[in-house]
Structure 1
Amino acid sequence: MFTAKDAFSSFSVDDLAKARQFYGETLGMAVEEGGMGTLSLRLASGSRVMIYPKDNHEPASFTVLNLVVDDVEQAVDELNRRGVQTKIYDDPQLPTDSKGIAEGEGPEIAWFKDPAGNVLSVIKV
C-alpha cells in the first residue's frame, strides 16, 4: 500500500526575486530558501508551499493558493493598500462587488494575482 509521510504543493514563477518580495514583504508570509534555487513558503498551519523558477512560466488559470482569513473585506482593504488589485474578475458567471469580493454562491472570497500572474485568494471558510 502507498503511504505518503507528508505532502506539499508547488507552483512556478518567472522571477524568483519578485516572488520573494511579493510573498515576503507585500503579503508578510514567511519565505525561506528552499534549496536548488527555490523558495519555500511556511504557512501558519505549519505546511509549506514550494515556489520554483521556470523560464517558460505560464500563469496558472486556477487558484494556486487560498489564504484563509477571518474577515475578507478587511483583508482586501489591506491588500489594496499594499498595491494588490483584488478586482480581477468581471464576469456575470462569477459576480464580485467593487472590491472583487464574491459572496452568496459559496464561501466569501476575493482573488488576486502574484507578480507572475498566478491566481491567489483570500477566503473565509
Structure 2
Amino acid sequence: MLDSADLVAFAPSTDLERSRAFYTDVTGLEFIEQSPFACVFRSGTTMLRVTAVAEFTPQPFTVLGWAVADIRASVAELRGRGVEFLTFDTLPQGTDKIWTTPGGRIAWFRDPDGNVLSLTEFTGN
C-alpha cells in the first residue's frame, strides 16, 4: 500500500529560524513554507518537515541522509559553507573524514540541533 506513496521525512528542531537558514543556505534544499509548527523543504521528490520541539536530545545515529553522485565534491562544497564533518573512533575514516565501505563511501555531519546527517556515494559493489 505505501510502496507507491511519497515519503515524508521529519527532523526535530528547537529553533525553526536557525534550521530554516541551515537547510536553505547550507544544504541548499528548496524552502516551501514555514508555520509555527514546522519548516517544510523539498529534497528531490521527498518532503522534509523540520518540526518545532521544545527540547530534545539528539540521537547518536543518522536521522537523515542523501545519496550523492560524488561524495568528495559534496563534502568539499559543504565544507566551503562551514560544515564540519564527524569522525567516529570505531570507523576507519580517511583524513577527509569519509568512510569507505564495500558498497560505497559515507560522511557524516550535524545540523544546528545536533541531528546526525549523512552523505552516501553508492558504488554498487
Structure whose residues are more often strand by fraction: 2
Change (3 A) 1:115 1:24: same
Instruction: Count matched residues.
Output: 120
C-alpha separation in 2, matches of 1:14 and 1:36: 12
Match of 2:26 in 1: 26
Which amino acid is the alignment partner of residue 90 of structure 1?
A: F
Match of 2:105 in 1: 108
Normalised by the length of structure 2, the TM-score is 0.86
8 Å CA contact 1:13, 1:59 repeated in 2: no
Consecutive aligned runs of 4 or more in structure 1 exceeding 3 Å deviation: 3-7
Of 112, 115, 120 in structure 2, the residue corresponding to residue 118 of structure 1 is 115
Equivalent positions of 1:37-116 (< 5 A) are 37-44=37-44, 46-86=45-85, 88-91=86-89, 93-116=90-113
Provide the secondary structure at the position in 1 that maps to 2:107: strand
C-alpha separation in 2, matches of 1:31 and 1:62: 25
Shift of 1:10: 1.0
Post-superposition Cα deviations, 1:88-122, rounded to whole Å, max 9, x if no partner, equal: 1231x212111210003442110000000000111
8 Å CA contact 1:34, 1:50 repeated in 2: no
Which amino acid is the alignment partner of residue 124 of structure 1?
A: E
Gaps of 5+ in 2: none
RMSD: 1.7
